[in-house]
């Protein structure tokens, strides 16, 4: 998308009233998502115009839009309400004593369901040593593509190669990357993505992708009507026939979230992930350079998330200046997305320089 078209599209959808650099915590909702999705459904529900409170067809359209963004078919995508829901499904599929390899300091939703079982062998290693740590006894490697605490990008090619060499499966949490970093979900056995960050969806939207082979490893724990081949024919009693696709792993959707998600995902498809990537990483690079110029060394990287170790205590001062960032693991964390500008970067740098 041309720069002028990019700017016009973004300006039509967003009007932040602060310098919002906190998409790694929660993204802003586009105008079309609020008006055409969430608010429209609320009004229809209030008027009694929507039997069941929402539309499964809309949920399936959101599923298809997400699938298009990550390069797989809709039959490979299951929906839910959170990353932990999807990770819990995968955790439940592992045999007792299976070895799960995760990075040190990984986000809790990506590791907690495995650790909570109590009968799996958990191994924690530094992010930059993940590939070397895979061994023949490893059953699953689980990691985020971009680390929540500091924005570091994993060496995903090396991790996939090591896992393949040792017969291990790979679970990728794309919550902090989907929406700005191009993703080939088909390259991983499983991916999980929370939609309320860079995908700009309402909270309560999440997606699981599963390869056809890996689908055979999962048990359909949420086997209610949502997981049935014939939803409305499976309202009572055990589901007689589960969906023949990844939809059999669906958890019940929050309709308001998915009615909004359809519009948010359409916006990202309209702009293009490559354009968003170029925009976000350019702003992040400007911020990293500016930070170094005023004596603050950020975590090196080329991602849309910038972290400065030991500077998290400046978050309240930035908030008083109308700048929204976050304090994560002692890091000051700023995350850049399509509604941010160079002026936002410079405003944050000015405050931090005082």
Q: Please check whether residues 276 and 170 belong to one and the same domain.
A: no
Q: Give the CATH number, domain containing residue 335.
A: 3.90.1150.10
- How many structural domains comprise the chain? 2
Of 316, 346, 310, 344, the closest CA to residue 328 belongs to 310
- Flag whether pLDDT at 39 surpasses 90: yes
Q: How many CB atoms lie within 10 A of CB 302?
A: 10
The pLDDT value recorded for residue 284 is 98
Q: Share the mean pLDDT of the chain.
A: 97
The pLDDT value recorded for residue 157 is 97
Q: Please check whether residues 128 and 172 belong to one and the same domain.
A: yes
Q: How many CB atoms lie within 10 A of CB 286?
A: 17
Q: Please check whether residues 18 and 65 belong to one and the same domain.
A: no
Q: Per-residue pLDDT averaged across 224-235, rounded? A: 94
CA distance 176 to 42: 29
Q: Please check whether residues 124 and 208 belong to one and the same domain.
A: yes
Confidence grade of residue 71 (pLDDT, cut at 50, 70, 90): very high
- In the numeric block, the tokens 């909702």 are attached to 29
- Give the 3-state secondary structure of 38-77: HHHHHHHHHCCCCHHHCCHHHHHHHHHHHHHHHCCCHHHE
The pLDDT value recorded for residue 179 is 98
The reply to whether 35 falls in a domain is: no
At 271-329, the pLDDT tens digits run 999 999 999 999 999 999 999 999 999 999 999 999 999 999 999 999 999 999 999 99
At 115-131, the pLDDT tens digits run 999 999 999 999 999 99
Q: Please check whether residues 97 and 233 belong to one and the same domain.
A: yes
Of 41, 86, 37, 25, the closest CA to residue 62 belongs to 37
Helix 342-353 × helix 273-293 angle, to 10°: 20
CA distance 320 to 330: 19
Q: Please check whether residues 215 and 230 belong to one and the same domain.
A: yes
The reply to whether 249 falls in a domain is: yes
Confidence grade of residue 77 (pLDDT, cut at 50, 70, 90): very high
The pLDDT value recorded for residue 52 is 84
Q: Please check whether residues 24 and 131 belong to one and the same domain.
A: no
The three-point CA angle 108-99-246 to 5° equals 70
- Flag whether pLDDT at 2 surpasses 90: no
Q: Roughly how many angstroms between the first and final C-alpha of the chain, as a whole number?
A: 37
Q: Please check whether residues 98 and 240 belong to one and the same domain.
A: yes
b or e along 44-71 (b: 16 or more beta carbons within 10 Å of the residue's beta carbon)? Answer: eeeeeebeeebbbebbbbbbbbbbebbe
Q: Please check whether residues 195 and 237 belong to one and the same domain.
A: yes
**Contact call for residues 209 and 191 (beta carbons, < 8 A):** yes
Q: Please check whether residues 185 and 146 belong to one and the same domain.
A: yes
Among 270, 287, 309, which residue terminates a domain? 270
The domain in which residue 135 lies consists of 46-270
Of 81, 59, 129, 78, the closest CA to residue 101 belongs to 129
Report percent pLDDT > 90 for the chain. 97
Q: Per-residue pLDDT averaged across 221-243, rounded? A: 95
At 181-208, the pLDDT tens digits run 999 999 999 999 999 999 999 999 999 9
At 43-56, the pLDDT tens digits run 999 999 988 899 99
Distances (CA, A) of 202 to 70, 233, 262, 263: 19, 29, 10, 10
**Contact call for residues 225 and 231 (beta carbons, < 8 A):** yes
């Amino acid at each position: 998308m041309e720069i002028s078209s990019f700017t016009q599209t973004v300006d039509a959808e967003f009007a932040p009233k602060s310098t919002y650099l906190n998409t790694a915590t929660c993204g802003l909702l586009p105008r079309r998502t609020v008006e055409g999705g969430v608010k429209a459904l609320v009004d229809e529900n209030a008027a009694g115009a929507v039997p069941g409170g929402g539309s499964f067809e809309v949920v399936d359209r959101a599923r298809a839009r997400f699938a298009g963004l990550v390069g797989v078919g809709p039959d490979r995508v299951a929906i839910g309400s959170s990353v932990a829901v999807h990770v819990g499904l995968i955790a439940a599929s592992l045999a007792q004593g299976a070895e799960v390899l995760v990075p040190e300091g990984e986000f809790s939703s990506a590791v907690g369901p495995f650790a909570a079982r109590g009968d799996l062998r958990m191994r924690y290693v530094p992010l930059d040593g993940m590939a070397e740590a895979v061994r023949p006894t490893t059953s699953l490697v689980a990691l985020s593509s971009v680390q929540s605490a500091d924005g570091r990008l994993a060496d995903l090619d090396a991790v996939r190669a090591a896992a393949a060499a040792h017969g291990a499966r790979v679970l990728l949490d794309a919550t902090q990357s989907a929406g700005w970093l191009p993703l080939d979900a088909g390259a991983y056995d499983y991916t999980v993505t929370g939609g309320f960050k860079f995908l700009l969806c309402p909270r309560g939207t999440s997606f699981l992708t599963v390869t056809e082979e890996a689908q055979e490893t999962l048990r359909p724990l949420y086997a209610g009507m949502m997981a049935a081949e014939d939803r409305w024919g499976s309202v009572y009693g055990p589901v007689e026939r589960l969906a023949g696709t990844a939809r059999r792993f669906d958890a019940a959707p929050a309709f308001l979230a998915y009615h909004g998600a359809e519009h948010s995902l359409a916006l990202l498809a309209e702009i293009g992930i490559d354009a968003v990537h170029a925009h976000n990483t350019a702003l992040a690079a400007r911020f990293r350079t500016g930070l170094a110029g005023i004596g603050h060394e950020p975590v090196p990287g080329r991602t849309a998330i910038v972290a400065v170790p030991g500077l998290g205590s400046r978050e309240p001062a930035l908030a008083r200046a109308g700048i929204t960032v976050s304090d994560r693991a002692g890091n000051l964390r700023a995350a850049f997305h399509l509604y941010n500008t160079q002026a936002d970067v410079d405003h944050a740098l000015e405050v931090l320089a005082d």
